[in-house]
A and B are shown apart, each in its own frame.
Chain A
Amino acid sequence: MNFLKSRYLTYLLIGVVLASLPFLNQMGVIRSATVTTFGFIVFYAIAALGLNVLLGYSGLISLGTAGFMGLAAYLTTHFTGEWHLHFFASLLLSVLIPTVIGIVVGLVSLRLEGMYLAIATLAVAEVSRQIFIEIWSWSSLRPPAVLLLQGLALDRDGMYLFIVGLLVVLMMLTDNFIHSPVGRALLTMRASEAAAQAMGINLFKYKLMAFGIATAYAAISGVLYAHFIRAVDPSPWTLLLSLQILAVIVIGGFRTITGPIFGSFIVFGVPPLILNQLPVIGDIPGLAFIFNGALIIIVILFYPRGLVYMGQDLKKLIKRKEVKSQ
């Protein structure tokens, strides 16, 4: 029980650190662009958290993340902008609809494995992107600001805090079900399908569940994107984004809750916040992609479990050194 509490504490701590940024901005310590960058980091981390349930815990690859994110972003723009639904109603619907579509896609495509599943999900994402262009054209839509209560509209900082809060809640919920029969069933399925079947785990049901979870998280991420950036157009929802979110998990760490946040910071945060500020090399076009590409290769070669495990391994190393020196 204490162990569990300490994991919750980690998530809260991450939340508190992230939530302090707008206040640092108000004090003039950091620029407001930095807060916006962290907003990106956080909602992409949410999508990666969901994808990690699918990829890390159950071992299935999906390249449809960006498609489902985009769908949710468009839906919430439409629901709140055109139909004037309350934000929470819109959030619920904009997550539910892509999730149901995701599960239907899963029903058909989960009979495929490995690369074939990846290609099938990529196809779905590309088709949805074409649909966005057909329906809403290339023009940029402006989702309204989030009204929590009548008269209480969230400004960009408020929305940022809301996103951070949601991230912490989602980390806790994910932690809960990963450390439950559901998470164990997913892990068993990845490690040995034969053992899973022998223990009464319905493979198809759990693959579908993992797929549904990944889709739902991607949709949440898309809704947050829409109301944080407050501009939605078809250009971001490409394979590139799906791959970047995949890179978040590869770099951050498979099968961890904090890995996606760490990875998201490296993939979406380090290039604009640090690399582009450097003299000379900061001006190289596409520097972020060069950085991420090189990093993926380095991580896969030397640290295949992901960088988040570095902390644990360092601790072990220090302990071993202490034991030796005694």
Chain B
Amino acid sequence: MSQSKKILTIKGLSIAFGGLKAVDDLSFHVNAGEIYGLIGPNGAGKTTAFNCMTQFYKPDAGQVIFNHLQGEDVDLVGKKTHDIIKLGLVRTFQNVELIGDLTLLDNLLIGAHIAYQTGLFANAFKLPKARREEEEMTKKALEILAFLGIETKAYELAAGQPYGVLKKVELGRTLMSNPKLIILDEPAAGLNDTETAELAKLIKEIRETYSCTVLLVEHDMRLVMGICDRICAISFGKKLAEGTPKEIQASKDVQEAYLGKEASSNA
């Protein structure tokens, strides 16, 4: 079964800002088809690690080995930020980066940017090829919007939509690129309990329907413990523990660094 195949392997990833080691010799791997969680308290270096994987930051040391769409292993370090999505790895943003003055449909079409073959001239003159391409992509985007349950809003502007809808649109946008691995940056941030539950269900459905692997960097323990197959907990840029949600919950280190505080503050 391909379940045990490694899709993403992080080896000795390190990055420092000035003297501060934000991520320090971090190593873990994600298997194909799993939902993997990267957790840690505030300032643990989760988002920094995330940005190193997607090449928004250039790590000082380490490797990010990704098994790309054609099935070969490549090191993402040193690749251009805008080339990462072509390999089959796509990300979302913590604060939702959508285009307010475009419709939800158009926002999804942006996700298909790399799939378009036609350029400026073909589109300016509306050549048949450009029309056909736009029709195909629109069809696909509408299907994804239907999958997300927001197809009735397809032609509404993104500006002014509820946060829950925007989060869904951002997820939908990642699906437009036929990704192998989706990395979600704190998908539950800003969502209420009902929306978070809905999101958990949606992430699972995405894995089943679009057969992708999901890596989520998350703060919200209920989401992580509820849907992740395996979890890596980090603190001060270093790995504390790795394992199933139960193992992580049982880990003394993790409790000290994160869950202990979280539990007392939640109570």
Contact = CB atoms under 8 A, between A and B. Distances in A.
Given A195-B97, A199-B114, A200-B177, A184 B85 contact: no
Interface in A185-202: 185, 187-188, 191-192, 194-202
A180 B123 contact: yes
A96 interface: no
Contact of B124 (A177, A200, A255): A177
A14 B82 CA distance: 40
Contacts of A174: 124
Contacts of A181: 109, 112-113, 116, 118, 123, 134
Given A176-B125, A200-B82, A202-B82, A195 B113 contact: no
A140 B144 CA distance: 61
Interface string B94-111: 000111111000100111
A222 B106 CA distance: 35
Nearest to A212: B120
A203 B123 CA distance: 19
Given A173-B124, A198-B91, A188 B83 contact: no
Given A187-B99, A191-B99, A180 B110 contact: no
Contact of B100 (A177, A191, A194, A209): A191
B81 interface: yes
Contacts of A198: 54, 56, 81, 84-85, 90-91, 93, 97
Given A180-B134, A188-B110, A199-B173, A173 B102 contact: no
Nearest to A180: B123
A200 B86 CA distance: 7
A199 B130 CA distance: 20
Given A198-B90, A200-B86, A184 B124 contact: no
A87 B110 CA distance: 40
A202 B112 CA distance: 14
A239 interface: no
Nearest to B117: A181
Q: What's the dominant secondary structure at chain A's contact region?
A: helix
B125 A173 contact: yes
Interface in A83-105: none
A191 to B, nearest CB: 5
B18 interface: no
A275 interface: no
Nearest to A194: B97
A182 interface: yes
B119 interface: yes
Contact of A197 (B56, B112, B177): B56
B105 to A, nearest CB: 11
B111 A199 contact: yes
Nearest to A203: B82
B132 interface: no
Nearest to B106: A184
A49 to B, nearest CB: 13
Task: Give 7 nearest A-B pairs by CB, closest first.
Answer: A195-B97, A180-B123, A200-B114, A200-B85, A192-B97, A177-B124, A197-B81
20 contacts: A177-B120, A180-B123, A180-B134, A181-B118, A182-B120, A184-B106, A184-B113, A185-B113, A187-B99, A188-B99, A192-B99, A195-B93, A195-B110, A197-B82, A198-B54, A199-B90, A199-B113, A200-B86, A201-B82, A209-B120
Given A181-B134, A187-B99, A199-B173, 19 more contacts: A174-B124, A176-B123, A180-B123, A180-B130, A181-B113, A181-B118, A185-B113, A188-B99, A192-B93, A194-B97, A195-B98, A197-B81, A198-B84, A198-B85, A198-B91, A198-B93, A199-B90, A199-B114, A200-B85
